[in-house]
Amino acid sequence: MTLTATPDQLAKYEVVIGLEVHVQLATRTKIFCGCPTSFGAPPNTNVCPVCLGLPGALPVMSKPAVEMAMLGALALNCRINPTSRMARKNYFYPDLPKGYQISQFELPLAEHGYVDVVTANGPKRIGVTRVHMEDDAGKSTHDGFKDSDRFTYVDLNRSGTPLIEIVSEPDMRNADEAYEYMVYVKQAMEFLAVSSCDMEKGHLRCDANVSVRKWGAAEFGTRTETKNLNSFRFLKQAIEFEVSRQVAVVESGGRIVQETRLFNPDLGETFSMRSKEAAHDYRYFPEPDLVPLRISDAWRERLQSTMPELPAQKRARYATEFGLKPYDAEVLTATREIGTYYEKAVAASGDPKTTANWVMGDLLGALKNDGKEITESPVTAEHLGDLVKRIASGELSGKLAKEIFPKMYAEGLAPGVIIERDGLKQISDTGAIDKIIDEVLAANPKQVEQYKGGKTTVIGFLVGQIMKATKGQANPGVVNDLLKAKLG
């Protein structure tokens, strides 16, 4: 039976969290050979002597992988080391064909970075200790086959897929900070197209180091490492569970054991995988098959100059340039594609705030209903901008626009085409509206009397009648002005 802590007990402890995030790079080929990294090929087909670890085969470092790793590190404000080294991490596992992983140890690609996040408690800077490169292992399947009781199946298609591991400082103090840090990392990697960050496919996974200590204690408590958290929700749940468990253990006079744990999503609990005593000695040493990785200032600067605007920078710009509220800026920078769409639409509309409302409301809503990404939107950014522009210019009422948008979405047509075809143009011509007002006033003498008698609220009824008579196409502003003038 796992103990959980009471709120009073929890309040006595400070939580310390550090994260190790593994990101699968989006290179077309593997890190040490030319095999494709594509997902879903039949087992053991995207392989060659190198990624199969055949006797005599040698790794050769992929330049695109290095550059993506550098971009990732730069996005986390890291310093790229002019010289870094690959190292062998030795352990036995059936899906590890060489008997070692080629990773980095003493001289990682990049160090000394940081990430700025904002939580309910305000802004917070989280240190990034290091970013290093490594190759992924293959995949073991222990069940699902007829003879799974006796055999494990190994697929080495994934073997040699490039990864970066991002190690944070133990700077996070609650699950929310860890969550926001992870969001930042994911968004940054997506924006840079360094990774597709598909968590279901394991492109982004996270190990959480968690410890607790009494407030004011100088030393960190003993930490546990919960491995392979592959969703934001699991990350948060696992941390919250670990904190509660650790506080309860300490409060009941027990001691935390340094160990590796796993998260059971069904129970929302972590459980022990192996203790420190059973931990591997990886016997790291520099990889003799690869020369040190030397990164010149020129190379680094060239990459730096190609860095696109990152989510945080974009949000800041949306606030100052477009006057958006923080929440709106966040929604519109959630992915690089949403930001791109929004900016294109603004360019067409000239009205950032109304455009923001349309993108966040009608468009994202409709896409969500259909389970579509913004890149699959039937309404192009230019068409949406066009629609917003027509509202801003007074050509369309908001109401008319709301009627036009679903047609644009369903048919993929420009607003002008639909307006023309369905005769939905707003009537701003005072002569035409004048005539209709006269007819409505003549048909409703009682309401006219009431208005004149001081009950000015009936004007709403009259406007409604006029709009009805024009099938909503009359410009409401013009209607109001003319009606008030007529009623005196």
Partner 1 sequence: MNIPSLTISQIKADLAAKKYSASELAQSALDFAATENPKTNAYLHFSAERALAAARAVDDKLARGEDPGLLGGVPIAVKDVIVTKGVRTTCASKLLENYIPPYDATAVVRLEQQGAIILGKANCDEFAMGSSNENSAFGPVRNPVALDRVPGGSSGGSAAVVAQGTAVVSLGSDTGGSIRQPASFCGIVGVTPTYGRVSRYGLVAFASSLDHIGPFSRNVQDSATVLQAMAGHDECDATSAPAPVPDYSAALTGQVKGLRIGLPKEYFQGLESESGALIEQAIEQLKKLGCEIVDLSLPTTEHAIACYYIICTAEASSNLARYDGVRYTSRSPNSNTLPDMYRNTRGEGFGRECKRRIMLGTYVLSHGFYDAYYVKAQKVRALIAQDFARAFADVDAIVAPVSPFPAFKLGEKMADPLQMYLSDIYTITGDLAGIPCLSVPCGNTQEGLPVGLQILTKHFDESTMFRLAHAYEQSRIG
Q: Does 273 engage in binding with partner 1 (CB under 8 A)?
A: no
What's the CA gap between 390 and 385, in Å, rounded? 9
11, 193, 267, 291: residue in contact with partner 1 (rule CB under 8 A) = 291
Q: How far is the CB of 5 from partner 1 (least distance, A)?
A: 34
Among 4, 9, 90, 230, binds partner 1 (CB under 8 A): 90
Closer CB to partner 1, 54 or 267, in the complex: 54
Stretch that binds partner 1, among 77-85, 92-100, 238-246, 324-332 (CB under 8 A): 92-100
Least distance in Å: CB of 281 to partner 1?
5
Residue 98 lies near partner 1 (rule: CB under 8 A): yes
Pick the closer one to partner 1 by CB: 160 or 415: 160
Tell me: does residue 432 bind partner 1 (CB under 8 A). no
Q: How far is the CB of 27 from partner 1 (least distance, A)?
A: 17
Question: Please, which of residues 43-62 interact with partner 1 by CB under 8 A?
Answer: 49, 52-61
Residue 477 binds partner 1 (CB under 8 A): no
**With binding defined as CB under 8 A, does residue 154 bind partner 1?**
yes
Please, what is the minimum distance in Å from the beta carbon of residue 207 to partner 1? 20
Q: Which CB atom, from 61 or from 427, has the smaller least distance to partner 1?
A: 61
Cβ contact 244:194 at 8 Å? no
Q: Could you say whether residue 157 binds partner 1 (CB under 8 A)?
A: no
Considering the complex, what minimum distance in angstroms separates the CB of residue 45 from partner 1?
14
Q: What is the distance between the terminal CA atoms of the chain, rounded to a whole angstrom?
A: 80
Is there binding between residue 260 and partner 1 (CB under 8 A)? no
What does the alpha-carbon distance between residue 304 and residue 63 come to, in Å, rounded to a whole number?
A: 16
Instruction: Please identify, using beta-carbon distances, which residue of 86 and 384 lies nearer to partner 1.
Output: 86
As measured in angstroms, the least distance from the Cβ of 101 to partner 1 is 11
Is 99 a binding residue for partner 1 by CB under 8 A? The answer is yes
State how far the Cα of 98 lies from the Cα of 91, in Å rounded to an integer.
9
- Residue 279 or 443 having the CB closest to partner 1: 279
Using the rule CB under 8 A, give the single segment among 35-43, 277-285, 388-396, 449-457 that binds partner 1: 277-285
The answer to whether 65 and 47 are in contact (CB under 8 A) is no
CB of residue 56 vs partner 1: minimum separation in angstroms?
Answer: 4
**One-character DSSP codes across 83-150:** EE--EEEE---TT-TTSEEEE--SS-SEEEEEEEEEETTEEEEEEEEEEEEEE---EEE-SSSTTTTT
In the chain, how many H helices and how many E strands? Answer: 17, 16
What's the one-letter identity of residue 19? L
3-state DSSP assignment of residue 213:
strand
Stretch that binds partner 1, among 23-31, 89-97, 190-198, 267-275 (CB under 8 A): 89-97
Cβ closest to partner 1, residue 150 vs residue 368: 150
276 binds partner 1 (CB under 8 A): no
**And the tokens for 395?**
């050509």
What's the rounded Cα separation, in Å, for the pair 326 and 61?
42
Place of tokens 């890149």: 375
Helices 459-469, 430-443: crossing angle, 10 deg rounding: 120
Handedness of CA 409, 410, 415, 419 (dihedral sign): negative
Q: How many residues bind partner 1 (CB under 8 A)?
A: 28
Long-range contacts of 44-51, Cβ-Cβ distance < 8 Å, separation of 24 or more: 44/154, 44/155, 44/156, 44/157, 45/157, 46/157, 47/156, 47/157, 47/159, 50/160, 51/97, 51/156, 51/159, 51/160
Closest to partner 1 by CB, 29 or 397? 29
- Give the relative orientation of helices 476-487 and 430-443 as an angle to the nearest 10 degrees: 60
Judged by beta carbon, residue 97 or residue 385, the one nearer partner 1 is 97
One residue of 143, 149, 266, 281 binding partner 1 per CB under 8 A:
281
Could you tell me which of 446, 440, 454, 443 has the C-alpha nearest to residue 482?
440
* Residue 289 contacts partner 1 per CB under 8 A: yes
Which part of the chain contacts partner 1 (CB under 8 A), choosing from 85-93, 192-200, 209-217, 426-434?
85-93
φ, ψ at 80 (rounded to 5°): -80, 130
Least Cβ distance, residue 147 to partner 1 (angstroms): 15
Q: Where does this chain bind partner 1 (CB under 8 A)?
A: 49, 52-61, 88, 90, 92, 94, 97-100, 154, 281, 283-285, 288-291
